[in-house]
Structures are given as C-alpha cells and as structure tokens.
Structure 1
C-alpha cells in the first residue's frame, strides 16, 4: 500500500509538468502557423467583403467600409508577413545563392553558416531596439491611423515583434546546429564574423557605394539569405559611414509594405497552392489532353497548354512546375519520352507562369517601379501566349521526329466539350481575375483575394477534396512563401535608400550610355546582363534589387517602363531553366528523380526557343505594348 501511495504521490506532480511541456511544444511548433492562418482568413474575408459591399449589397446602406477594411487588411498583412519570416527561419526556407559556398569544405560551410546567423541576429536585434524607439515616438506624439483611429503604435509593433521572433528562431537554430558542430568549427565561424565586420572601423572615409556593394557581394558569397544580405550590408555601411540614421530602418520596413497592391502577392500564391493540389489541376490536365493528346508529343503538348491554363491561376513558375510535373512527368516517361526531354518540357513550360498574368514577378515589378499592375498584366498576355505557341510548335516537331505519340490517335469533339464542361470552374478563375480587373470591377489585390476565396469554396464545398487541414496547410505554405518575397521587398527598400542617396542608378546609366548611343546595342547589353544575373540570382530578388538601378537607363534610351518590365521578367524567366540557380530545373528534377545534366541536354532546343522569343519581345515592342496602349487610348 505504501508503494502504491508513494507511486501516486510521485506521479501526480508529473501530470501538470507533462501538460505544460506538451503545451509549450505545441506553441513552439504552431505559434506562427496559427496566427498566419488566422490573419490570412481574416483579410481574405475583409477584402471579399468590400467587393461584395460595393456591388451586391448597396441596399443595406452600411456605408463605405472600404477605408477601414483596406486599412485593417494592410496592418494584418504586415503582421502576417513578419510572422511568416520567423516561420521561414524555423523551417530553413529562404532565397540564397549557395553555388559558391557549396564548393567549400563542410567544416568551412558550417563556420560560415554560423557567421551568417550572427550577422542576421545582430541585424534583427537592431531592428527590435530601434523598432521599440519608433513605437515610443508614436505613443508620445499620439499618432493614430486614418480610418480606424487606433494608435499607430499598434501596427508599428509588427516590426519589433516580428524581428524578436526571428531572433528567437535564430537562437533555436544556433542551438540545434551547435550539436553537429565541433568547437573548432564554432571558433572558426566566430573568427570569420569578426574578420568580416572589422573593416567597418576603418571605412569611415570610403565611398558609400563601395562599402554597400562590397558587403552585399561578400554576404551573398558566404551564402547569407539574400533579404538579410541586403539589410546587413546596409547596416554595415551605415555603421561605417553614418550615411543615414539607424532608426530609419524600422520605419522603412513598415512603410515599404504598408501598400495595398503588394497584398496581391500572398493572395495569388494562396490561390495557386489551394488550386494546385486538388481536382482543379486534374480537370485542366484532362481538358488539355482531350484538345492536344492525339497529336505527336501529346503529353508534352498537354504539359504546355496546362501550364498556360494554370499560370493564369497561380502566377508562379515553380508552383506550376510542381503541380503539373508530379502528374505528367512520370506519365511521359512511361510512354517512352526521354526523361530529360519530358522534365525539360515541364520546367520550361513553367516559365509561362511568370509572364502571363496574374504574375507575381509582374506585381513585384509594378510595386517597385510604381507602374500600373493592370497595365503590366495586359502587357504579359500576348508574350505569354506567344511563348506557349512557340513551345508547342518546337515540342511537336521534336516529338514527331522521335516518334513520341500519345495513346489516343484521334480528336473527339464530344469528349473535348465534356472535358471543357468538367473543367468549367477551373476555367472561370482567369475570367474572374482578369475580367474583374479589366472590367473595372476590382483592383488586382481584390481580384487575387476573390480568387483565393473561390479556391477555398470550390475545393471544400464543390469538389470536396480540400478539408480544413488542407486549407490550414495551404495557408501556412502561402504565408511562408509570400513572407520570403515580402522580406526581400523590406530589405531592398532599406538598401535602396543608400542607392538613391549615392545616385548609383544615374551613374550606371551615364556610364553605359557613354559606351554607345545606339538603342539596340544598349538593349542587347541590358539583355546580356540580365541573362547573366538570372544564372545566379533568383528572379524576385533580382527584380527588387535591379529595377531601381536599370529602369532609369531603360527610360533614357526610350523604353516604356511597362515594356522594360516584360523584358526584365522574360530574361529572369530564362534563369528559371538555367543552372546553377534554375528553380524550375530543380523542382522538375526532384519530381523526376533525375540529374540536372540530363534535363539540360534534353532541354537545349526549348532554351534556344526562349532566347529567340526574348529577342523578338525586346526588339518588337508592339507585341508587349499593343494591349496596354489600346486600353490607354
């Protein structure tokens, strides 16, 4: 009996301890996720509510809710973006250049990774400290928001809270990594960090641009996340030269994304993820198969035409490759297609996702360049369709030459009509998005929010292949993916302040224009430069970094900013299928379980086709500008 009583006495205090341990573990794993999903659902509802109120419920006379729904959505979006950035750190998802660092010995890679974390931690610490100072200023001056009339300190608190969470996740990452790191590797990492930051003490008389780009290149080489490389290089420059006050950083971090148009990015990403994993993509594939599957290269043609359909939903190249490649690449290989060619077709077709609207890179370019996103979407329609048609023709010729024929030999109008009817809800998505925008019914952001809500409703209640868990996982993934893009925007805005201060864009433009006065020569040089950049830098990062630098030069030679945007994005789209960065290549290769070398070999004619298209789009501006100018006039 004593033993039993003793056992109960020993067990009873463990129960609450076990509960709290599980609770803390749950919070650690799910804290950001729950808040991200809640934020997404709220601002999807709010934006859809303002559209509904504008057109469907005027008889309720509830007043103009657009001002407060838009403002609240923006502030929630900012919080969600920084929460997503924290979650991305925990999940180790980022945009970085790892080509160079991967050549180093493992011990050096670990040491440099530690140095990166130290720099990122210090940058985050500075954002937290200066962020709280900004909040104190807002409280002292009693500033309030325009529509909701709440203290501005509340929305501005997203900056210190977000970066504080990033600091916590960096500490957790450090603890985990130290378990797999020797003392020597740890000391080497600390030494690297000290050696790299020590020159700051002696650079007070150096040129701001030299220090800024020097540190940025250094941080890129050692594999730092590109967003933090932008922020950390700016901070290093400010500490060395006192170019601008450090307290400028958190204010810029807030104002750079307190922007309604940029909210289209997470909405389009969410819509693409939600609709890419269910019945919608399968119905589009079936329709494409009925239309083109009987021709030589049937499945390869299906991959391209489905990419065009799905691109008008997702706005993302890698998302298109992942959704289509999972289903089509194994089927093509099974039918006898060369594995490298089959994978290359899907990877190249995925580039249409960043050209044809609604394209996330076009949204980012529009925000950075302050050009109309609607005009950019119009400009992408004909180049996107032309890309698809050229790829269809080349794939048809290659397939016919190699005898790659689909299982079906004839076209059936009845079957095609049935497949089209079966895919009607999927085909409605681009009609809703583009029709809403160009019909003057919705802004791009509102259209994106409607598309996200549409995907959830169709998936949950019509096709019933999307449960609550699926919605949760899709929104978490959308939150992480979009936050990586938004952090690039934040850091690029901070970085761009010094570029503006030093007139870097004007100096580069003057230098290039001094080489030649021929518009076609300069355009060729721009294309070559962007193609090279696309080899090493992810497209979205290149857009936010290079647009402020290259756009003045393009305008100086008479290029329309909208036309230049399509030229830039088409160049960077080619980077999706060229190593060493080539995101589409790696996504497709992981699906097919084959080496990159095989894909490159099978993809050479499609890559050549893309280069020819680039020249046509660059030197025949009417292809890009016909629709925008038609609407303007």
Structure 2
C-alpha cells in the first residue's frame, strides 16, 4: 500500500516538475501559438503598409516618406505570401479545410480512420516535394543573383516562403499522423496500406494514358475520400506528372509562389478580416436596430430585418457564412421567441446570407476576377443590381409568408424620427460600404487598398470609438481571418498548378466543342451551364468551384457571346444557391448550428426561398442588363 502511494507521489512530483520547467512551457506555448503569433504580426504589418501607401498618396502629396509608394506594396505582397502558407499550416493543425465528406461519412469509423491516414501520408509527400524543389528554386535564385524590383533584396528571400511554409505544414501533418496512428489497430494498419496501394499501383500501369483522364480521375478519387480540395488539386496534378512527365516538377514551387504574388488577391484576407472585426463589434447591432426601425412594423418584420441587415453587412464582410453567423446569432433566437417557425426563421437567415457573395465587396467576385483576369471593380459594379434584386425578392416572398402565418414585428407603426435616430446611431457602420465602394468606383483606391482601409477603420472604431473590441478580441479575429483566408489562398495555389495541365490538354476547348455539339443556341447552352453549376454547387464549395471551372467554362461562354463579367455574376449566383442546398450548403449548416436545430428542420423552411433565388438566377442569366447596366454606365 505504502509502495503504491510512494509511486503515485513520485508521478505527481515528476508532473509538477514538468509543469514548473520553463523550457517545457515554452515549447508547449510555441507549439500552440507559433502560427497564430506569426499570422497576427504579418497581417497587421501588411495592413499598416497598404494603409500608409494610401495615406501617402492622398494626405501627404508633398511629403514622400522614404519613397514609400515603391516598396510598401512589394513588402506587403511578400509578407502576404508568407502569412498565407503559415495560415495554411494552422488550418492543417486544426484540421479545417474545404472538403467533400459525403461518401466517407457513410463508412465505418475504422475505414474512415485508415482513409484519413492515407490522405495525410499523400499530403506529406506532396509537401516534401514542395520543400525539396522549393530549396532548389532558392539555390537557383542565389546562383543567378536575382533581386526584387523595389527593394533590390535577393529573390531567394520571398521565394523561401514556399519551403518554409510547407515545412510548417509538414510538421503539423506529422503531428496529425501521429495522433491518427496512436490508437490504430493492426487491422486498421493493414487497411491503410491496402487503400494506399489501391491508389498507387494503378499509376504504374497508366504511363501511356491520357493526361486528362489521369488528372481528373485522381482528382475525383481524392475528392471522394474526403481529401481537402486544395490538396486534391495539387496531389492529382503531381500524380499525373510523375506518371506522364507532362511538365517539370520544379514548376510546382514556382507556380505556388507566382500564383499568389498578386496584389488583387490580397483583397480576400482584408475583406474577411474587415467582416470578422466589424461583426464582433457593436456595428452589427446598430445595423440591426436601424433595419428594425425601418421594417419592424410590417408582417414578418424581424425576418425582413434579417434580409436588409444581411444586405448592409454584405457590403462589409463579402462573405455569406460570415453574414449568416453575425446576423443569425442575434436574430434567429429573437424570431423564434416572437413565434416564427424555427425552421423558417433559420432558413431566412441562411438564404439572406447568399446575398453576401453577390453584393460587393464579394470574395468570390475577387477570386473570379483574379482567375479570369477581369476587372474586380467592374465585377463589383455588376453585383450591385443582382444583389439588391435578390434581397427585394426574398423580402416580398417573406412578407407574403409572414402575413399568411400571422407573424408580426414588435413595432406597431413606422416612426420617421426613430429611423433618423437609428440611422445617426449607425452612421459609422453605414459609412463602410460608402467609402469602400466609393473609393473603388471613384478611382481613389484599388479594391485591395479599400479592403485594407476597411480593416484599419474597423479596428479604430471598435477599439477607440465603441470600445468593445479588446486586444484579445483583435488577436482572435485576426487569427480567424488569417486562417480562413489561407484556406482560400491555398486553394488558388493548387488550382493554378492543376490549371497548367488543363491548359496543356486543351480541356476547355474539348468541353466547348462537346457542348456546342449538343446545341449552338445560346438560350439552351446557358440553361445547360446553369444546370451544371447548380449541380456542382450541391457538392463543391463555391470558391473551389470557381477556381476549377472558370478556366474551363469561361472560354465556351465567350464563344457564344456572353460577356465575361456577366458570366461571372451568373456563375457566382449559381454557386451562391449551393450555399443553401445540401449536402454542402455551408449557410444551412452555419445557421442550423447557430439555432441549434437539425439540418432537416432548416431544409423544410428553405423551399420557397430557394425557388425565389432560382427565378432571380434565370432573370440574371437571360437579361444581361441586370448585371451589365451599371458597368456600361460607369465605364
């Protein structure tokens, strides 16, 4: 008895010593927070640099701060590349990604574990390739003494983001692999080996196969086993290249860098950060109060408030799920309390969130603009009328349903003075879309600069005016924004690598010839494209679909006379409907999570709203002026 007791005391003593060991605490803290700290530092620095660039251009026209306009953009771009890959490491650590798990979820837990292990092993090998050839790329840069245009520092420094970033990713993948394998049984181990062999062995006999068949075959297989879509794109390309030698492997790290060393892409993390920061401050509550004063007296007042506030907040966040989370947290419980059916209350917030990717600024519009090489400013202009039309249509349908059900708002009448007071109270929030869109359309700022200014504005208002944004909240919001945007950026990186083989194989021309072989009638082809995109939206997240399908479908759309800007709005509206259609339906899941409802209950309430959005889609598709009128007027 005493011996056992002494052993226990010894263990406790040992544990206590470990807790007191500063080196152990440092290592644990480093493991837990390293990426977060690097993301926050990098994010805040390149936000400040872009804002300094804008300030120097307009507020200090006669004082050139250390020739700031020539180097701020370059430093910000390179920091952005580093932060993107560090953020990707954090998303790997937290196992957060864009993926399709429909098929895998139906398998037994043992098989799921084996498949997950195989996926991590493949991702590790891909990361090793990027590290190995990334180092070779750096050595080449040092040998040739190439320097950056503005700072004249060795190009090896910014290019080191690739091997360093994928080294971080590899470490996190190894940690995940260790966790997965710790409790693995012998049977699950053999199952893992068998699954890996089923993927590898066929490639040994397919050396003379079509590049396109290998590329899309492996991509679909990787998607089916639940591999993150970004890695599915990269690994399917690598597998195809290893089998066919279609392109040199050193193309991978080079493209990984050049594909995101791009100033317009930086708008994505800025808009995400602006939405997250402002959504966690009082701004969202003030917008809700204004909307309530405007519409709360009508039948379905709170539901109408949800739609209008979503339209306001969309002009800040550029993200559907962010809009749903921010609005839903406050309004879904309030609607249920007033007697709304819980499924409908949740569905209306999910449907209103689709406006977040149509009304500018919109992250999907930014991604489409980058991939298609179209003007992001023009895409933003094209999204205004479709976004407003969608909001108005949803409001009309909601009003009719609410009147029939007898759902009324808190207020009994419209009071103009109350509206004015609420508008004045919300003035700082209402200014955001004005200076973002006004700055872009007025030619004062680029979309990226406007987004960076929005981030700084949100921080200043939240921290020093409303004083409801603490340093801890800023840290958490920037980490969240950095990780979310890095998932998108990694997707763009892998899609650029994947797209090289698509171009090589002339896949876009093959698809165009096939569809045009069915019919050359523009109405029929646009209908077929809508059906295809709606089906894609059911199973693939919108941003992934944009980067994969735009290079394939856009040339065909242009061949039948569809303007690239019009096609972009049509594509994104289709995929936005995918936000509220299972099984992917990210808005549905976010709203259901906020309301703590089963997804089936939310789906029951979404029907009339879904039909409404499909009707608006047909209007946008066949009446180009809805998208193009403002673009043509302001061009």
Given the two structures, how large is their TM-score scaled by the length of structure 1?
Answer: 0.97
Task: Quickly say closer, same or farther: Cα 1:287–1:129, change in 2 above 3 A.
Answer: same
Distance in 1, matches of 2:19 and 2:566, equals: 64
- Please list the CA deviations of residues 98-140 of structure 1 after superposition, one character each: whole Å capped at 9, or x if unmatched: 0111111111111111110011000000000000000000000
Which of 411, 419, 431 is residue 408 of structure 1 equivalent to?
Answer: 411
Which of 551, 554, 576 is residue 551 of structure 1 equivalent to?
Answer: 554
Distance in 2, matches of 1:582 and 1:60, equals: 51
Task: Quickly say closer, same or farther: Cα 1:15–1:214, change in 2 above 3 A.
Answer: closer
Distance in 2, matches of 1:23 and 1:225, equals: 31
Distance in 1, matches of 2:535 and 2:295, equals: 35
Instruction: Specify the alignment match of 1:420 in structure 2.
Output: 423
Instruction: Specify the alignment match of 2:316 in structure 1.
Output: 313
Instruction: Specify the alignment match of 1:22 in structure 2.
Output: 25
Distance in 2, matches of 1:623 and 1:160, equals: 46
Matches within 5 A, 1:337-416: 337-416=340-419
Distance in 1, matches of 2:86 and 2:190, equals: 31
Distance in 1, matches of 2:115 and 2:385, equals: 45
Instruction: Specify the alignment match of 1:228 in structure 2.
Output: 231
Which of 27, 42, 46 is residue 43 of structure 1 equivalent to?
Answer: 46
1:124 aligns with 2:133: no
Which of 176, 179, 194 is residue 176 of structure 1 equivalent to?
Answer: 179
1:513 aligns with 2:512: no
The answer on whether the counterparts of 1:114 and 1:190 sit within 8 Å (CA) in structure 2 is no
Instruction: Specify the alignment match of 1:464 in structure 2.
Output: 467
Distance in 1, matches of 2:161 and 2:396, equals: 50
Which of 438, 446, 450 is residue 449 of structure 2 equivalent to?
Answer: 446
Distance in 2, matches of 1:262 and 1:345, equals: 31
DSSP 3-state at the match of 2:278: helix
Deviates more, 1:147-156 or 1:186-195: 186-195
Deviation of 1:64 (Å): 4.2
- Please list the CA deviations of residues 276-329 of structure 1 after superposition, one character each: whole Å capped at 9, or x if unmatched: 112000000000000000000000000000000000000000000000000000
Structure 1 unpaired stretches of 5+? 1-6
1:202 aligns with 2:186: no
Instruction: Specify the alignment match of 2:619 in structure 1.
Output: 616
The answer on whether the counterparts of 1:90 and 1:173 sit within 8 Å (CA) in structure 2 is yes
Instruction: Specify the alignment match of 2:531 in structure 1.
Output: 528
1:68 aligns with 2:71: yes
Counting matched residue pairs gives 624
- Please list the CA deviations of residues 2-27 of structure 1 after superposition, one character each: whole Å capped at 9, or x if unmatched: xxxxx9xx99x958971100000000
Distance in 1, matches of 2:293 and 2:17, equals: 63
Deviation of 1:177 (Å): 1.8
The answer on whether the counterparts of 2:103 and 2:225 sit within 8 Å (CA) in structure 1 is yes
RMSD after superposition? 1.4
1:281 aligns with 2:284: yes
DSSP 3-state at the match of 1:43: helix
Distance in 2, matches of 1:549 and 1:85, equals: 27
Given the two structures, how large is their TM-score scaled by the length of structure 2?
Answer: 0.97
Instruction: Specify the alignment match of 1:243 in structure 2.
Output: 246
Distance in 1, matches of 2:131 and 2:159, equals: 11
Distance in 1, matches of 2:69 and 2:486, equals: 25
Deviation of 1:514 (Å): 1.0
The answer on whether the counterparts of 2:359 and 2:387 sit within 8 Å (CA) in structure 1 is yes
- Please list the CA deviations of residues 354-388 of structure 1 after superposition, one character each: whole Å capped at 9, or x if unmatched: 00000000000000000000000000000000000
